Amino acid sequence: MILLHLYLASILIVWIFIGMDVWRGLTTLTSIEEHSNTPIERPLLSVVIPARNEEGTITDSVLSQLKQDYHPVEWILVNDRSTDGTPEKLDALGEKDERISVLHVHFLEPGWLGKNQALYKGCELAKGDLILFTDADVIFKDSTILSRAVSYLQIRKLDHLTLAPHIRSGSFWLKSFVAFFLFGFTFYKRPWKANDPDSKTGMGIGAFNLITRSAYEEIGTHEGIKHMPDDDLQLGVQLKKHGKRQFFLTALESLEVEWYRSLNEAFNGLEKNTFAGLHYSLLLVLFAILGVFSSTVLPFITVLSSDPGIRIMSVLIILFIGITYVNVIKRMTRESPLLFLALPVTSLLFIYSIGRAIFLTFKRGGIEWRGTLYTFKELKRKRR
């Protein structure tokens, strides 16, 4: 019982520090909607969109972008070996607007992950001094978002600007799961540190990575991260490593994406990044599972203890978890903070998703992503 007291006390101390850090960090974040939409200059902007089997989303995404008030702008749509109707959708979009170029990639070159290769090849066609990487399922709800982003980049003299979209979810449990993921991502990755030029923390969000061509070429383009599943995040990491100025803002009113349509899709989607995010270390996997269980599940069990001291510490832990959770949900999403009521269950679902991803990765000998198997040898290759 004494050990449990000490264990809960240590968890409480951790949550106090996490809560204070998150509160301080989130108070420094702003949204892109709060800033000017008048760029100082208007250089050519190249929007590069990779698409593999995205026939259900690519048309709506691109059409929403064509309404932007920024100019001049070009779009490079890259068909990454699709096996559905995506190629035809892209060709139809290319015929619709002369600013759109379509590139069909038929083969995956050795050492590359498909999306990384598609982004790289798209950039080979890009003519702009600014490059925007975005995904094929992102809806641009604000017609001024590109102007605001370029304006912010120029005023701040940045090399890279990344924006976090609103993640739209359907069912209650999917909303809860995505909210828990963002909750953990926020206090683990501390995205506000990307805005600190003295910090080594880099950040990149796949929905919106705006970068200067000069910075992109200086860090070695996507060739430097060609084998990394978390390409969007690693782009930001590489930029920070090279001393480039970057900034992270939210864009909850301007950008929207339906990340997954079901819990099963969410589990499948996390297969790609889970092991990479834990640096392919089984020790870190065990630490992550134990940490998630101890910090977000155990207090909801021990609060039922007959020991008054254990109950009090459990209540305090839950209180600090709740304060931190609500703070994150209010600043990083448009969902209800009441999703906190499902936290113990979504924590267990997240633990399951980690275990499932690691098991399948070892069973297959690598990551199977969108019809392609990437072996451990490819995934663990060191940066050149």
What is the count of structural domains for the chain?
Answer: 2
Q: Is 70 exceeded by the pLDDT of residue 380?
A: no
214 part of a folded domain: yes
Question: What CATH number is given to the structural domain containing 187?
Answer: 3.90.550.10
Please tell me whether residues 332 and 344 are part of one structural domain.
yes
The percentage of the chain sitting over the pLDDT mark of 70, rounded to a whole number, equals 98
384 part of a folded domain: no
148 part of a folded domain: yes
Q: Please give the backbone phi and psi of residue 376, each rounded to the nearest 5 degrees, phi first.
A: -55, -40
Please tell me whether residues 235 and 287 are part of one structural domain.
no
How far is Cα 46 from Cα 126, in angstroms, rounded to an integer? 6
Domain boundary among 201, 235, 262: 262
How far is Cα 192 from Cα 195, in angstroms, rounded to an integer? 6
Please tell me whether residues 331 and 182 are part of one structural domain.
no
Q: Compute the chain's Rg from CA coordinates.
A: 21
Domain boundary among 213, 245, 262: 262
How far is Cα 199 from Cα 190, in angstroms, rounded to an integer? 11
For 131-186, the pLDDT digits (tens) are 999 999 999 999 999 999 999 999 999 999 999 999 999 899 999 999 999 999 99
- In this prediction, residues 215-224 reach a mean pLDDT of 96
Please tell me whether residues 22 and 65 are part of one structural domain.
no
* pTM assigned to the model: 0.92
- Residue type for position 281: S
For 88-125, the pLDDT digits (tens) are 999 999 999 999 999 999 999 988 999 999 999 999 99
Please tell me whether residues 148 and 229 are part of one structural domain.
yes
Of 186, 334, 330, 331, residue with least CA distance to 253: 334
- In this prediction, residues 282-297 reach a mean pLDDT of 93
For 365-378, the pLDDT digits (tens) are 888 777 777 777 66
Note down the domain range covering 61. Answer: 30-262
Please tell me whether residues 201 and 71 are part of one structural domain.
yes
Please tell me whether residues 213 and 173 are part of one structural domain.
yes
For 201-212, the pLDDT digits (tens) are 999 999 999 999
Q: Is 80 exceeded by the pLDDT of residue 379?
A: no
